[in-house]
Structure 1
């Protein structure tokens, strides 16, 4: 649905190009959540929004969306393995929110195709 599309590959490349942001030393202004907790929280919120905006999705289609999110989280865990458990900085928090919004955009595009 999403993870096999070119847009997703570009987003993963975008993340890897910005890995330096996640290599930053821990310092002041850290969030209460870790990097992975923030990714999971933001992605969950985005997918709840996707499903809420598309009540016509069948149970099977909603399950497909959830399986895709699980695959995305798995990819993120692999990419961010060495920093996923560190507390997030404000810059990382902003990046995660933006990245999650881009993931939602991919789902929005694919759902339009599903429901057309």
Structure 2
């Protein structure tokens, strides 16, 4: 009986060792994947910061003013002036559309019932 218990215990230890071995490699793989994702996120953040810097450089007011002056003949752009802006109450918003009548009732031909 003791021999069977020793064999079962040894098999359990081997089984747990195999399981721990597999979990160790899975954990290492997940850590490797996480590091790769972190590197990709860092590279994307660098690209994003470069794109933001380029956008800020291209949208400089003096550069846009020069482009508007150079292309005035083709575009007809005029400089903005304070009198071109209005108040919110001066904006003409479209009126709300009337709801459609789906089931009209002809009341001209209805008889009135007396109580």
Q: TM-score range by the shorter chain?
A: under 0.3
Structure with more relative contact order (C-alpha pairs < 8 Å, separation 6 or more): 1
Q: TM-score, normalised by structure 1?
A: 0.25
> Which is higher, the Rg of structure 1 or of structure 2?
2
